[in-house]
Structure 1
Amino acid sequence: MSWKFWQKNNDGKPKKKKSKSREWVDAIVFAVIAATIIRVFFIEAYTIPTGSMERSLLIGDFLFVSKVNYGARIPMTPIAFPFAHHTMPYTTSTKAYWDGVQWKYHRLPGLQDIKRNDVVVFNYPQGDTVAVEAQNRDYYQLVRNSSWKEINSSYTIIYRPVDKRENYIKRCIGISGDIISMKDGLVSVNGKPEKLKNTGQFSYAVTFKSAEVNFGIFEEMGFKLSGDYPDITPLAEGSYKFNGTEPMMNEVKKLDFVSSVKELSSAAADRESDVFPFDPKRNWNVDNFGPVQIPKKGWTVQLDSNTMPLYERCIRIYEGNKLEKSGAGWLVNGQPASSYTFKMDYYWMMGDNRHNSLDSRYWGFVPEDHIVGKALFIWMSYDTDGTFFGKIRWNRLLRGIN
């Protein structure tokens, strides 16, 4: 193809015919450019690698995520290898981008604002990726209580720009300005209880009347009995832990050999210091926390010992201010400050698989510059644990996400 089609050939000489190889090169270059524009500004494909959104989204679901709904984010790291995220294909450490050029955060106008209960893809807000498991709680303690020098001596830190950090997908439970709290696993938004969606799942303790139980019944109900993440695991003699949706567990309750079904709380399993805001003064855990207000652009918060554990990271890391303790007060960019006005909107994200999700309960608020897009629909779903003819989940193809 001609890249100078607007120029006329006035020399009277016949145009030289392109070779087959040149035509192929031109076609490939055009296809890469067109696909990159579509991927960056319109729509992109993602896959679900973990079970944090079950049963709304399953491991092996392939999604299309819209960049248009919330407005496409202008690439913050513009020089990168096409179709790669942060590492080159078939490698684990070779960078697929050059961070020598960094652009400030800008976003094109979108079709809508982020709404409560939207399923959103965003960049991991905890920041730097550690070479150990992200869920490692010793790392959270180290980040909170140690200097960066101590952290670097204990862990391998991979520094990445915001738009090159890992992509996460969660449900937006609260938007900027909302007040979030949770009691015994039930979330409240602005004082109104919000039940878990029917497609989300919770943990339950199920006790049987007899040791003779045909577990095949539960498989027919939709429970997964095998694989890396089975839905039913032993708790004690005659008692099992079930991971399931509320409608599924209502069916379990109806079985004549079931003695009791009770929701399981994580209060005993999670130390208060494991969850956001890593503040020993707050007795918070993954099922009981808050209330906490989500920062909103233009909202002013007073800086004191009560608010700083909640908003220090937003002020220092996400909004790029130099924050220092000075006597009984604080210095923001070298100036005494008793309050701070936020520059961005923030969101509270949680997984639908409430007891198996690393989300805002651990790392707090998600800033607007980390938002990638809105999950639209599932175009393919592949079950690695399925039989030969059942690996494709045909009933999930082209299913909308809500």
Structure 2
Amino acid sequence: MANKLSREERQKRREQRRKNQHKKAKSWLREWADALLFAAVAALIIRTFFFEAYRIPTPSMEKTLMTGDFLIVSKMSYGPRTPMVLGVPFTNIYMQGLVLPWARLPGFDEIERNDIVVFNYPVDLAPIAAKTNYVKRLVGMPGDTLSIDDNQLFVNGEQAEPFPGIQRTYEVRVRDRVRLSAAKVRAAGGTLYQTQQPGVYRVNMTRQVAETISRWQEVTDVNPFVLPDGFNEYDRREFSFSSGFMNHHHLPPTVVPFEGQTVTLTPGNYHVYEDILTRYEGNSVQREGEQFIINGEETNEYTIRQDYYFMMGDNRDNSEDSRFWGFVPQTHIVGKAGMIYFSWDSERWLPRFDRILNFIHD
């Protein structure tokens, strides 16, 4: 009897140990699940209201920002936006047709001219927060008058401040029967393009590199390349600041729209304001000759309801920006580019160690 009771007791103890181990395993899994859930929620809050990572996919901001740079974007600088859509966190999947009421919370800084800004690409056909993120330099504030003359930007009548990283195309002439070395140009910091004209090359580079190349023995002349005023590169584009011939090296004086501005619409200027009225401010617009009908009312005057900005890439001749698709609404501003936390050179398959943890200066 004693042996029988002893075996039953041992069996009970083994079962109890198995239950305890099972409880410990469940407890361990629950702790990990809770930790992962907390981390995901914390990351989502940080990404929504504080900071977001962003990768530079194109050369439109070189040499200021390089293809392969990974940025930290501060959403607190200009004020974070509350959620606009419902979707799967950390993906581009969102619920179609549902846009949430949203607001922009106070930021600790004001957006300023020459800031490097991340924003939603305005002409994407998607809810604002689901649009592609772009990064450019803000060159025109609401109310500024901008013009571009021979590829030189003017703001309120004065030539815009030059930045060391800004690139443009230069025409380089060399001596007879001499070739310009692409490898030598690349080592100096430029990108060489062959032209049809013998002895003439086009090089995309900064002003500092242009000054260096102008001192080379084989080079006779270096001048900025400018598209002729009558050359039209907009024949295949939906947007243009001009109803006639227009290219990105020339821009007639244009006022950047601002909240409260009343504009008089005409058949000659409607192409500039059409996206603002219909796409960004949600109005119904019809035209009958020179008469406009806005939301069912005959009127040629419209009061703009928010501020707009004019963006340009620092790689001026290799950037599609406001010159090509117009103004950026205030609602589309995401944040300010703050720091490069990592940089990857895909040509050499090596990190750019000199760029890691660099703060971005305007």
Q: Normalising by structure 2, report the TM-score.
A: 0.87
Q: Quick one: distance in 1 between partners of 2:232 and 2:359?
A: 34
Tell me which of 94, 105, 108 is aligned to 2:105: 108
**1:288 correspondence with 2:250:** yes
The alpha-carbon distance between structure 1 residues 291 and 34, as it changes in their structure 2 partners (threshold 3 A), is same
The alpha-carbon distance between structure 1 residues 319 and 248, as it changes in their structure 2 partners (threshold 3 A), is same
Structure 2 counterpart SS, 1:291: strand
Q: Quick one: distance in 1 between partners of 2:297 and 2:339?
A: 48
How far off is 1:280 after superposition? Answer: 6.4
Q: Which residue of 1 aligns with 2:325?
A: 363
How far off is 1:123 after superposition? Answer: 0.8
Tell me which of 84, 94, 97 is aligned to 2:94: 97
The alignment-based identity, stated in percent, is 39
Q: How does 1:255-294 map to 2 (within 5 A)?
A: 255-267=216-228, 270-273=232-235, 277-278=239-240, 281-294=243-256
CA deviation profile, 1:294-315 (whole Å, cap 9, x unmatched): 1101111112223312112101
Structure 1 counterpart SS, 2:334: strand
Q: Which residue of 2 aligns with 1:33?
A: 41
**1:304 correspondence with 2:270:** no
How far off is 1:366 after superposition? Answer: 0.5
The alpha-carbon distance between structure 1 residues 214 and 308, as it changes in their structure 2 partners (threshold 3 A), is closer
Q: Normalising by structure 1, report the TM-score.
A: 0.79
Question: What is the Cα-based RMSD across aligned positions, in Å?
Answer: 2.0
Q: Quick one: distance in 2 between partners of 1:239 and 1:283?
A: 27
Q: Which residue of 1 aligns with 2:88?
A: 81
Tell me which of 185, 190, 201 is aligned to 2:156: 190
How far off is 1:292 after superposition? Answer: 1.0
How far off is 1:103 after superposition? Answer: 1.5
Give unpaired runs (5+ residues) of structure 1: 1-15, 87-95, 129-159, 224-230
The alpha-carbon distance between structure 1 residues 191 and 105, as it changes in their structure 2 partners (threshold 3 A), is farther
Whether the aligned pair in 2 keeps the contact of 1:275 and 1:284 (CA below 8 Å) is: no
Q: Which residue of 2 aligns with 1:162?
A: 128
Q: Which residue of 1 aligns with 2:192?
A: 232
How far off is 1:59 after superposition? Answer: 0.5
Choose 322-331 or 116-125, whichever is displaced more: 322-331
The alpha-carbon distance between structure 1 residues 276 and 299, as it changes in their structure 2 partners (threshold 3 A), is farther
Tell me which of 303, 311, 316 is aligned to 1:354: 316
Q: Which structure features the higher share of helix residues?
A: 2
Bigger Rg over Cα = 2
The alpha-carbon distance between structure 1 residues 64 and 269, as it changes in their structure 2 partners (threshold 3 A), is farther
How far off is 1:293 after superposition? Answer: 0.9
Q: Quick one: distance in 2 between partners of 1:204 and 1:214?
A: 15
Structure 2 counterpart SS, 1:19: helix
Give unpaired runs (5+ residues) of structure 2: 1-22
Choose 296-305 or 244-253, whichever is displaced more: 296-305
Whether the aligned pair in 2 keeps the contact of 1:346 and 1:365 (CA below 8 Å) is: yes
How far off is 1:217 after superposition? Answer: 3.6
